[in-house]
Structure 1
Amino acid sequence: MGSDERSSDQQPAERPQAPDESGDTLRMGSPRPSLVVRGAGRYEVLLVLLAMVLVLSPIVSTALEPVIIALLGGVLVYALWTSRAAIGVVWVATGLALACVLSSAVAPVWIGSSRVVYALVSITLSIGAIAAIVTHLTRRRSATSATLAGAVAIYLLLGLIFADVYLCLAQLSGVAFFAQTASPTSVAYLYFSYTTLTTVGFGDLTAGTDPGRMLAVVEALMGQLYLVTIVAFIVATRRPRTRS
Protein backbone atom coordinates (compact mmCIF):
# COMPACT_ATOMS: atom_id res chain seq x y z
CA MET A 1 0.00 0.00 0.00
CA GLY A 2 2.91 2.32 0.76
CA SER A 3 4.28 1.78 -2.72
CA ASP A 4 0.87 2.70 -4.19
CA GLU A 5 0.88 5.98 -2.24
CA ARG A 6 4.40 6.80 -3.41
CA SER A 7 3.52 6.04 -7.00
CA SER A 8 0.43 8.21 -6.79
CA ASP A 9 2.46 11.10 -5.38
CA GLN A 10 5.10 10.87 -8.07
CA GLN A 11 3.02 12.08 -11.00
CA PRO A 12 4.96 12.43 -14.25
CA ALA A 13 5.92 16.03 -14.85
CA GLU A 14 4.22 17.67 -17.78
CA ARG A 15 6.61 18.05 -20.65
CA PRO A 16 7.00 21.63 -21.83
CA GLN A 17 5.54 22.28 -25.22
CA ALA A 18 8.19 22.93 -27.82
CA PRO A 19 7.73 25.90 -30.06
CA ASP A 20 6.20 24.87 -33.34
CA GLU A 21 7.01 26.13 -36.80
CA SER A 22 4.46 28.93 -36.56
CA GLY A 23 6.00 30.33 -33.41
CA ASP A 24 2.69 30.41 -31.51
CA THR A 25 4.14 28.84 -28.40
CA LEU A 26 7.00 31.31 -28.02
CA ARG A 27 7.03 32.70 -24.51
CA MET A 28 8.56 35.80 -23.03
CA GLY A 29 12.24 35.24 -22.38
CA SER A 30 12.57 32.42 -24.91
CA PRO A 31 15.18 33.06 -27.61
CA ARG A 32 13.98 34.25 -30.99
CA PRO A 33 14.97 32.17 -34.02
CA SER A 34 18.19 33.24 -35.66
CA LEU A 35 18.04 35.53 -38.68
CA VAL A 36 19.63 32.86 -40.84
CA VAL A 37 17.06 30.17 -40.00
CA ARG A 38 14.72 29.46 -42.88
CA GLY A 39 11.14 30.14 -41.84
CA ALA A 40 12.16 32.15 -38.77
CA GLY A 41 9.51 34.77 -39.52
CA ARG A 42 11.76 37.71 -38.60
CA TYR A 43 9.52 40.25 -40.28
CA GLU A 44 10.69 43.11 -38.08
CA VAL A 45 14.10 42.71 -39.74
CA LEU A 46 12.42 42.67 -43.14
CA LEU A 47 10.72 45.99 -42.30
CA VAL A 48 14.07 47.59 -41.46
CA LEU A 49 15.60 46.31 -44.69
CA LEU A 50 12.69 47.60 -46.78
CA ALA A 51 13.02 51.02 -45.12
CA MET A 52 16.73 51.02 -46.02
CA VAL A 53 15.85 50.31 -49.65
CA LEU A 54 13.50 53.30 -49.74
CA VAL A 55 15.99 55.63 -48.07
CA LEU A 56 18.84 54.58 -50.37
CA SER A 57 16.76 54.45 -53.57
CA PRO A 58 18.22 57.73 -54.98
CA ILE A 59 21.52 55.86 -55.40
CA VAL A 60 19.96 53.99 -58.33
CA SER A 61 20.72 56.96 -60.61
CA THR A 62 24.42 57.05 -59.74
CA ALA A 63 27.48 54.90 -60.32
CA LEU A 64 26.55 52.95 -57.18
CA GLU A 65 23.38 51.56 -58.75
CA PRO A 66 24.52 47.89 -58.41
CA VAL A 67 24.57 48.45 -54.64
CA ILE A 68 20.91 49.40 -54.35
CA ILE A 69 19.91 46.72 -56.87
CA ALA A 70 21.81 44.13 -54.83
CA LEU A 71 20.20 45.42 -51.64
CA LEU A 72 16.70 45.25 -53.09
CA GLY A 73 17.31 41.77 -54.48
CA GLY A 74 18.75 40.61 -51.17
CA VAL A 75 15.78 42.00 -49.26
CA LEU A 76 13.27 40.22 -51.50
CA VAL A 77 15.22 36.96 -51.28
CA TYR A 78 15.33 37.33 -47.49
CA ALA A 79 11.56 37.87 -47.47
CA LEU A 80 11.17 34.50 -49.19
CA TRP A 81 13.70 32.86 -46.89
CA THR A 82 12.29 34.05 -43.58
CA SER A 83 8.73 33.19 -44.65
CA ARG A 84 9.78 29.60 -45.49
CA ALA A 85 9.18 29.73 -49.22
CA ALA A 86 10.04 26.62 -51.21
CA ILE A 87 13.79 26.25 -51.50
CA GLY A 88 13.53 26.09 -55.29
CA VAL A 89 11.74 29.43 -55.32
CA VAL A 90 14.49 30.93 -53.15
CA TRP A 91 17.19 29.72 -55.53
CA VAL A 92 15.35 31.07 -58.58
CA ALA A 93 14.89 34.43 -56.85
CA THR A 94 18.58 34.51 -55.93
CA GLY A 95 19.55 33.81 -59.54
CA LEU A 96 17.30 36.59 -60.85
CA ALA A 97 18.65 39.05 -58.30
CA LEU A 98 22.26 38.21 -59.16
CA ALA A 99 21.53 38.53 -62.89
CA CYS A 100 20.11 42.01 -62.34
CA VAL A 101 23.13 43.07 -60.28
CA LEU A 102 25.58 41.83 -62.91
CA SER A 103 23.66 43.35 -65.82
CA SER A 104 23.46 46.71 -64.05
CA ALA A 105 27.20 47.04 -64.47
CA VAL A 106 26.76 46.74 -68.26
CA ALA A 107 23.45 48.48 -68.95
CA PRO A 108 22.70 51.48 -66.70
CA VAL A 109 19.41 51.14 -64.85
CA TRP A 110 18.09 54.48 -66.14
CA ILE A 111 18.06 53.17 -69.72
CA GLY A 112 14.46 52.38 -70.68
CA SER A 113 14.86 48.69 -71.54
CA SER A 114 16.91 48.03 -68.43
CA ARG A 115 14.39 49.76 -66.20
CA VAL A 116 11.57 47.58 -67.53
CA VAL A 117 13.54 44.36 -66.98
CA TYR A 118 14.52 45.32 -63.43
CA ALA A 119 10.95 46.42 -62.68
CA LEU A 120 9.48 43.14 -63.97
CA VAL A 121 11.93 41.12 -61.87
CA SER A 122 11.09 43.26 -58.84
CA ILE A 123 7.35 42.75 -59.41
CA THR A 124 7.81 38.99 -59.73
CA LEU A 125 9.91 38.67 -56.58
CA SER A 126 7.65 41.01 -54.60
CA ILE A 127 4.52 39.05 -55.52
CA GLY A 128 6.31 35.82 -54.60
CA ALA A 129 7.38 37.34 -51.27
CA ILE A 130 3.82 38.46 -50.49
CA ALA A 131 2.47 34.99 -51.30
CA ALA A 132 5.10 33.35 -49.09
CA ILE A 133 4.45 35.74 -46.18
CA VAL A 134 0.68 35.24 -46.41
CA THR A 135 1.11 31.46 -46.45
CA HIS A 136 3.48 31.60 -43.48
CA LEU A 137 1.25 33.91 -41.44
CA THR A 138 -1.93 31.92 -42.04
CA ARG A 139 -0.30 28.92 -40.36
CA ARG A 140 -0.33 30.80 -37.06
CA ARG A 141 -3.18 30.05 -34.69
CA SER A 142 -3.19 33.56 -33.25
CA ALA A 143 -1.99 37.05 -34.10
CA THR A 144 1.34 38.06 -32.59
CA SER A 145 3.80 40.90 -33.01
CA ALA A 146 5.46 38.93 -35.80
CA THR A 147 2.10 38.66 -37.55
CA LEU A 148 1.69 42.44 -37.38
CA ALA A 149 5.22 43.02 -38.70
CA GLY A 150 4.55 40.63 -41.57
CA ALA A 151 1.31 42.42 -42.45
CA VAL A 152 3.10 45.79 -42.53
CA ALA A 153 5.85 44.27 -44.70
CA ILE A 154 3.17 43.19 -47.19
CA TYR A 155 1.87 46.77 -47.18
CA LEU A 156 5.31 48.13 -48.09
CA LEU A 157 5.75 45.49 -50.79
CA LEU A 158 2.44 46.56 -52.34
CA GLY A 159 3.78 50.09 -52.71
CA LEU A 160 6.93 48.74 -54.36
CA ILE A 161 4.88 46.65 -56.79
CA PHE A 162 2.72 49.58 -57.88
CA ALA A 163 5.78 51.79 -58.37
CA ASP A 164 7.23 49.19 -60.73
CA VAL A 165 3.88 48.81 -62.52
CA TYR A 166 3.72 52.56 -63.13
CA LEU A 167 7.26 52.51 -64.50
CA CYS A 168 6.50 49.60 -66.83
CA LEU A 169 3.31 51.28 -68.04
CA ALA A 170 5.21 54.41 -69.00
CA GLN A 171 8.11 52.61 -70.65
CA LEU A 172 6.03 50.10 -72.60
CA SER A 173 3.38 52.59 -73.76
CA GLY A 174 5.88 55.29 -74.67
CA VAL A 175 3.64 57.91 -73.01
CA ALA A 176 4.79 59.93 -70.03
CA PHE A 177 3.11 58.65 -66.88
CA PHE A 178 3.15 61.95 -64.98
CA ALA A 179 1.49 65.14 -66.11
CA GLN A 180 4.29 67.25 -64.58
CA THR A 181 7.39 65.63 -66.10
CA ALA A 182 8.26 63.55 -69.14
CA SER A 183 11.42 61.96 -67.71
CA PRO A 184 10.80 60.92 -64.10
CA THR A 185 13.35 59.04 -62.04
CA SER A 186 12.72 55.75 -60.27
CA VAL A 187 12.42 57.71 -57.02
CA ALA A 188 9.52 59.67 -58.52
CA TYR A 189 7.59 56.46 -59.12
CA LEU A 190 8.29 55.26 -55.57
CA TYR A 191 7.31 58.64 -54.16
CA PHE A 192 4.05 58.72 -56.12
CA SER A 193 3.23 55.11 -55.28
CA TYR A 194 3.59 55.44 -51.52
CA THR A 195 1.83 58.81 -51.33
CA THR A 196 -1.02 57.18 -53.26
CA LEU A 197 -1.02 54.00 -51.18
CA THR A 198 -1.26 56.04 -47.98
CA THR A 199 -3.72 58.50 -49.63
CA VAL A 200 -1.48 61.43 -48.66
CA GLY A 201 -1.54 62.81 -52.21
CA PHE A 202 0.67 65.89 -52.04
CA GLY A 203 -0.31 66.77 -55.60
CA ASP A 204 3.16 67.64 -56.90
CA LEU A 205 3.03 64.50 -59.06
CA THR A 206 -0.19 63.26 -60.67
CA ALA A 207 -0.95 60.57 -63.23
CA GLY A 208 -1.31 62.07 -66.70
CA THR A 209 -3.07 59.18 -68.46
CA ASP A 210 -6.37 57.42 -67.88
CA PRO A 211 -4.77 53.98 -67.24
CA GLY A 212 -2.40 55.61 -64.78
CA ARG A 213 -5.25 57.35 -62.97
CA MET A 214 -7.24 54.14 -62.66
CA LEU A 215 -4.21 52.25 -61.37
CA ALA A 216 -3.71 54.99 -58.80
CA VAL A 217 -7.34 54.64 -57.71
CA VAL A 218 -6.90 50.88 -57.32
CA GLU A 219 -3.75 51.38 -55.26
CA ALA A 220 -5.41 53.96 -53.00
CA LEU A 221 -8.40 51.68 -52.42
CA MET A 222 -6.18 48.68 -51.69
CA GLY A 223 -4.05 50.70 -49.30
CA GLN A 224 -6.98 51.96 -47.25
CA LEU A 225 -8.97 48.72 -47.27
CA TYR A 226 -5.87 46.78 -46.24
CA LEU A 227 -5.24 49.06 -43.26
CA VAL A 228 -8.83 49.16 -41.99
CA THR A 229 -9.43 45.43 -42.41
CA ILE A 230 -6.36 43.19 -42.29
CA VAL A 231 -4.03 45.33 -40.17
CA ALA A 232 -6.84 46.53 -37.89
CA PHE A 233 -7.96 42.94 -37.30
CA ILE A 234 -4.42 41.82 -36.45
CA VAL A 235 -3.96 44.72 -34.02
CA ALA A 236 -7.29 43.96 -32.33
CA THR A 237 -6.56 40.23 -31.93
CA ARG A 238 -2.82 40.37 -31.29
CA ARG A 239 -1.77 38.12 -28.42
CA PRO A 240 1.32 39.22 -26.48
CA ARG A 241 4.00 36.67 -25.66
CA THR A 242 3.23 35.15 -22.27
CA ARG A 243 5.69 34.42 -19.49
CA SER A 244 6.85 30.83 -19.15
Structure 2
Amino acid sequence: MTMNLFSVFDPSTLYIMNNWVSILLWLIFFPSIFWLILGRMNIMYFYFIKYIVSEFKPLLLKSSFVLLTIISVFMFIMFNNVLGLFPYIFCASSHMSLTLSLALLSWVTLMIYGWINNYKNLLIHLIPQGTPGFLMPFMVLVETISNIIRPITLSVRLCANMIAGHLLISLLSTSLISSTLYMSGFLIFGEFALMILETAVAFIQAYVFSMLFTLYSSELSY
Protein backbone atom coordinates (compact mmCIF):
# COMPACT_ATOMS: atom_id res chain seq x y z
CA MET A 1 0.00 0.00 0.00
CA THR A 2 2.76 2.44 0.99
CA MET A 3 4.89 1.59 -2.03
CA ASN A 4 1.90 2.07 -4.35
CA LEU A 5 1.08 5.39 -2.69
CA PHE A 6 4.57 6.83 -3.11
CA SER A 7 5.03 5.38 -6.59
CA VAL A 8 3.44 8.51 -8.10
CA PHE A 9 6.65 10.33 -7.19
CA ASP A 10 8.91 7.75 -8.83
CA PRO A 11 9.70 8.69 -12.46
CA SER A 12 10.34 5.06 -13.40
CA THR A 13 6.91 3.78 -12.33
CA LEU A 14 4.65 6.08 -14.36
CA TYR A 15 3.36 5.53 -17.87
CA ILE A 16 5.51 8.14 -19.61
CA MET A 17 9.08 6.95 -20.09
CA ASN A 18 10.81 10.32 -19.88
CA ASN A 19 8.86 12.06 -17.13
CA TRP A 20 11.33 14.88 -16.64
CA VAL A 21 10.20 16.31 -19.99
CA SER A 22 7.23 17.69 -18.02
CA ILE A 23 9.56 20.43 -16.75
CA LEU A 24 9.46 21.96 -20.25
CA LEU A 25 5.67 21.87 -20.65
CA TRP A 26 5.33 25.36 -19.16
CA LEU A 27 6.91 26.80 -22.30
CA ILE A 28 3.78 25.85 -24.26
CA PHE A 29 1.72 28.38 -22.29
CA PHE A 30 4.01 31.33 -22.90
CA PRO A 31 2.30 33.93 -25.10
CA SER A 32 3.94 34.73 -28.40
CA ILE A 33 5.14 38.32 -28.83
CA PHE A 34 4.71 37.99 -32.59
CA TRP A 35 0.91 37.67 -32.48
CA LEU A 36 -0.86 40.68 -33.98
CA ILE A 37 -3.91 40.33 -31.73
CA LEU A 38 -3.59 38.91 -28.22
CA GLY A 39 -5.95 36.15 -27.22
CA ARG A 40 -7.89 36.06 -23.98
CA MET A 41 -5.36 33.77 -22.31
CA ASN A 42 -2.52 36.07 -23.35
CA ILE A 43 -4.32 39.15 -21.98
CA MET A 44 -5.01 37.34 -18.70
CA TYR A 45 -1.38 36.23 -18.59
CA PHE A 46 -0.22 39.83 -19.19
CA TYR A 47 -2.29 41.24 -16.33
CA PHE A 48 -1.20 38.39 -14.06
CA ILE A 49 2.49 39.16 -14.73
CA LYS A 50 1.80 42.86 -14.20
CA TYR A 51 0.28 42.10 -10.80
CA ILE A 52 3.21 39.90 -9.77
CA VAL A 53 5.68 42.60 -10.80
CA SER A 54 3.78 45.17 -8.70
CA GLU A 55 4.07 42.80 -5.70
CA PHE A 56 7.81 42.19 -5.94
CA LYS A 57 9.11 45.50 -7.28
CA PRO A 58 8.76 47.56 -4.03
CA LEU A 59 11.13 45.12 -2.31
CA LEU A 60 13.81 45.57 -5.00
CA LEU A 61 14.02 49.33 -5.38
CA LYS A 62 17.82 49.32 -5.52
CA SER A 63 18.31 46.01 -7.32
CA SER A 64 15.42 45.81 -9.78
CA PHE A 65 17.62 43.95 -12.27
CA VAL A 66 16.91 40.78 -10.26
CA LEU A 67 13.18 41.19 -10.90
CA LEU A 68 13.26 39.44 -14.29
CA THR A 69 14.95 36.39 -12.74
CA ILE A 70 12.46 36.27 -9.86
CA ILE A 71 9.44 36.49 -12.19
CA SER A 72 10.92 33.72 -14.36
CA VAL A 73 11.44 31.50 -11.31
CA PHE A 74 7.89 32.21 -10.16
CA MET A 75 6.36 31.26 -13.52
CA PHE A 76 8.52 28.16 -13.79
CA ILE A 77 7.49 26.86 -10.37
CA MET A 78 3.85 27.84 -10.78
CA PHE A 79 3.39 26.09 -14.12
CA ASN A 80 5.16 22.95 -12.87
CA ASN A 81 2.99 22.85 -9.76
CA VAL A 82 -0.26 23.33 -11.69
CA LEU A 83 0.60 20.95 -14.53
CA GLY A 84 1.56 18.31 -11.96
CA LEU A 85 -2.11 18.12 -10.92
CA PHE A 86 -3.17 16.90 -14.38
CA PRO A 87 -3.44 13.14 -15.00
CA TYR A 88 -0.35 11.38 -16.37
CA ILE A 89 1.84 14.48 -16.00
CA PHE A 90 4.82 14.01 -13.73
CA CYS A 91 5.04 16.57 -10.89
CA ALA A 92 8.70 17.59 -11.06
CA SER A 93 8.37 20.18 -8.30
CA SER A 94 7.66 17.41 -5.77
CA HIS A 95 11.25 16.15 -6.10
CA MET A 96 14.14 17.44 -4.02
CA SER A 97 16.43 16.95 -7.00
CA LEU A 98 14.63 19.83 -8.76
CA THR A 99 13.73 22.09 -5.84
CA LEU A 100 17.14 21.78 -4.16
CA SER A 101 18.93 22.44 -7.45
CA LEU A 102 16.83 25.56 -8.03
CA ALA A 103 17.27 26.80 -4.46
CA LEU A 104 21.02 26.14 -4.44
CA LEU A 105 21.50 27.90 -7.76
CA SER A 106 19.58 30.95 -6.54
CA TRP A 107 21.33 31.06 -3.15
CA VAL A 108 24.86 30.52 -4.48
CA THR A 109 24.34 33.19 -7.14
CA LEU A 110 23.20 35.71 -4.53
CA MET A 111 26.08 34.83 -2.21
CA ILE A 112 28.70 35.23 -4.94
CA TYR A 113 27.22 38.55 -6.01
CA GLY A 114 26.93 39.76 -2.41
CA TRP A 115 30.45 38.88 -1.34
CA ILE A 116 31.94 40.45 -4.46
CA ASN A 117 29.90 43.67 -4.57
CA ASN A 118 28.43 44.25 -1.11
CA TYR A 119 30.23 42.15 1.50
CA LYS A 120 29.87 44.86 4.19
CA ASN A 121 26.09 44.58 4.00
CA LEU A 122 26.25 40.79 4.41
CA LEU A 123 28.45 41.14 7.48
CA ILE A 124 26.09 43.74 8.96
CA HIS A 125 23.18 41.31 8.72
CA LEU A 126 25.05 38.84 10.92
CA ILE A 127 24.46 41.09 13.93
CA PRO A 128 20.94 42.59 14.19
CA GLN A 129 20.72 46.19 15.33
CA GLY A 130 20.50 46.58 19.11
CA THR A 131 22.14 43.23 19.95
CA PRO A 132 23.96 43.32 23.33
CA GLY A 133 27.74 42.93 23.16
CA PHE A 134 27.87 39.61 25.04
CA LEU A 135 25.36 38.08 22.57
CA MET A 136 27.18 39.15 19.41
CA PRO A 137 29.32 35.98 18.98
CA PHE A 138 26.23 33.81 19.52
CA MET A 139 24.16 35.88 17.06
CA VAL A 140 26.90 35.63 14.41
CA LEU A 141 26.80 31.84 14.75
CA VAL A 142 22.99 31.70 14.60
CA GLU A 143 22.74 34.05 11.61
CA THR A 144 25.48 32.15 9.76
CA ILE A 145 23.68 28.83 10.26
CA SER A 146 20.33 30.33 9.22
CA ASN A 147 21.96 31.74 6.09
CA ILE A 148 23.55 28.42 5.18
CA ILE A 149 20.33 26.42 5.55
CA ARG A 150 18.28 28.82 3.40
CA PRO A 151 18.44 26.66 0.24
CA ILE A 152 17.42 23.59 2.26
CA THR A 153 14.40 25.34 3.79
CA LEU A 154 13.38 26.74 0.39
CA SER A 155 13.54 23.35 -1.31
CA VAL A 156 11.97 21.31 1.51
CA ARG A 157 9.07 23.77 1.89
CA LEU A 158 8.15 23.54 -1.80
CA CYS A 159 8.74 19.79 -2.09
CA ALA A 160 6.91 18.82 1.12
CA ASN A 161 3.80 20.87 0.34
CA MET A 162 3.48 19.40 -3.15
CA ILE A 163 4.03 15.85 -1.89
CA ALA A 164 1.44 16.27 0.89
CA GLY A 165 -1.26 17.41 -1.54
CA HIS A 166 -0.58 14.66 -4.05
CA LEU A 167 -0.62 12.03 -1.30
CA LEU A 168 -4.04 13.20 -0.09
CA ILE A 169 -5.39 13.10 -3.65
CA SER A 170 -3.96 9.58 -4.12
CA LEU A 171 -5.49 8.41 -0.83
CA LEU A 172 -8.94 9.68 -1.78
CA SER A 173 -8.64 8.15 -5.25
CA THR A 174 -7.73 4.70 -3.92
CA SER A 175 -10.52 4.90 -1.33
CA LEU A 176 -13.02 5.81 -4.03
CA ILE A 177 -12.42 2.52 -5.86
CA SER A 178 -13.41 0.34 -2.89
CA SER A 179 -16.06 2.64 -1.37
CA THR A 180 -19.80 2.09 -1.31
CA LEU A 181 -22.24 4.06 -3.44
CA TYR A 182 -23.28 6.12 -0.42
CA MET A 183 -19.70 7.12 0.42
CA SER A 184 -18.71 7.78 -3.20
CA GLY A 185 -20.58 11.10 -3.23
CA PHE A 186 -18.69 12.36 -0.18
CA LEU A 187 -15.36 11.17 -1.58
CA ILE A 188 -15.99 12.81 -4.98
CA PHE A 189 -16.90 16.08 -3.27
CA GLY A 190 -13.77 15.82 -1.09
CA GLU A 191 -11.63 15.10 -4.15
CA PHE A 192 -13.06 18.13 -5.96
CA ALA A 193 -12.50 20.40 -2.94
CA LEU A 194 -8.97 19.06 -2.53
CA MET A 195 -8.16 19.75 -6.17
CA ILE A 196 -9.27 23.38 -5.73
CA LEU A 197 -7.14 23.61 -2.60
CA GLU A 198 -4.11 22.11 -4.35
CA THR A 199 -4.48 24.54 -7.24
CA ALA A 200 -4.33 27.38 -4.71
CA VAL A 201 -1.33 25.74 -3.02
CA ALA A 202 0.44 25.53 -6.39
CA PHE A 203 0.18 29.31 -6.76
CA ILE A 204 0.97 30.01 -3.09
CA GLN A 205 4.12 27.86 -3.04
CA ALA A 206 5.45 29.56 -6.17
CA TYR A 207 4.72 32.93 -4.57
CA VAL A 208 6.39 31.97 -1.27
CA PHE A 209 9.53 30.67 -3.00
CA SER A 210 9.81 33.80 -5.16
CA MET A 211 9.04 36.15 -2.27
CA LEU A 212 11.76 34.62 -0.10
CA PHE A 213 14.13 34.84 -3.04
CA THR A 214 13.18 38.52 -3.33
CA LEU A 215 13.80 39.16 0.37
CA TYR A 216 17.19 37.48 0.20
CA SER A 217 18.03 39.62 -2.84
CA SER A 218 16.95 42.82 -1.11
CA GLU A 219 19.49 42.20 1.67
CA LEU A 220 22.25 42.83 -0.85
CA SER A 221 21.06 46.32 -1.76
CA TYR A 222 20.71 48.15 1.55
Structure exhibiting the larger radius of gyration computed from Cα positions: 1
Higher fraction of helix: 2
TM range (shorter): 0.3 to 0.5
TM-score normalised by length of structure 1: 0.31
Higher-RCO chain (CA-CA 8 Å, sequence separation at least 6): 2
TM-score normalised by length of structure 2: 0.33
